Structure 1
């Protein structure tokens, strides 16, 4: 019987469940809103329970999450501000219901892994990659020499403090993050656009100065990734970066801020949007991670 591998993108807005075959090709996919933990996880279990030959499952979750296998709260979503979801044992609930090996990581780590796999499929040798999602929130995953970067926990690169844009200084705008004044997420995530202008991002005109403010912060994220990890490529996903004009603005500001301090590839190859269409990076990454965790368990038997 053909083995199948599961992918769960556990997002703060929606859960995306998918099953792929041994070639990591999509077999079936569904999504539903993230409501209460009980209701959302029940729908998740209902979907994956239909596949008797499910060999493994990878979960890429919104966070913060506990990824330390030695921790008593391993597999939990921890201090999230999302109502009802703090301290939810997501891995425990899925493992009990499905009885399959589970790989647990952040949603952005799953996307980063998928981007590495996609590039290798196309013949590009990429072992060092940073993936940012710029949407309702900001998160990042980093891979060095093919391995996720992290220690007792995962990086929280969306909460770096950044240098404020002069217009934000003038207007005393400190961002929308409930935890920090002046962090990247608070100043550059999608809700910051509406907080500054009173207009939802998709309705703001392209010639608005707010896009340059946004690009200024996102370019700083690329600078931080460059000086910290020295990656082969930096990928920006998420709704804010889906607009082509933003990629051009970020590349331009990145070049201006870096000032030639470090050698980097051509900016058009270095700062890019996802190689996997339709926000599918996390799904592909999860399929491969699910296979790896299943194979690891099989080797121990």
Structure 2
């Protein structure tokens, strides 16, 4: 099966709460029992996932490598990781899913911790009873906040999630990193790191050579990685991000096309309009009108 043929699932349609539209929480039972406890190999393009196996067993396949886990255990999966599960019918636990860009934002001020979550981590917790108990409590508290309506809910959700992430980071010495030394896994890590850099710097219109240098790669190598794992050239990935931001401005603000061009660091508004039409097939204001009609 080619990489392009592997299903890529986005749970975004299930994120229907404006306060928590960046994070989703569900029990392992709720989804797996619908599929006879077998989840076929798939991937999530922009989502980071944590699976907390509280009880039962899970045969997990990661990029073609199979491992059996017995609860309590925990798994963290960066975006684009091809993974599948076969659970025992008595499985218990929780799956947390959030946008990878939000993960980067949450961990932005914590030196060294972000690197922990760029690789797959499989952690058995049988020899870490205190950590297992703490993770169970923190995940239960996070789930309660997600379904609650208390004041400061958004901040509490992020704080609870941060506690879970810190616990995982502290357990990194106990983790197995599935396939982390393989060339394909290293290339995927470069692709994810590149996307993080683009998310932070896309307004600066930096040459691809600058991104490649920061990743310790050549520009042709970065392009090959992006084509393989992100489905476009490196420049195409940057352009996609610029267009996404332009669409957000046109849909959710009343800024003029000229003001949006300046907000996105285009010196020439006319060039911005041509660029937008080339990528979307519509001039900026025609796109805005289409979005307004759709919303109406």
TM range (shorter): under 0.3
What TM-score, normalized to structure 2?
0.25
TM-score by length of 1: 0.25
Rg larger for: 2
**Higher helix proportion, which one?**
2
**Which structure has the higher relative contact order (CA within 8 Å, separation 6+)?**
1
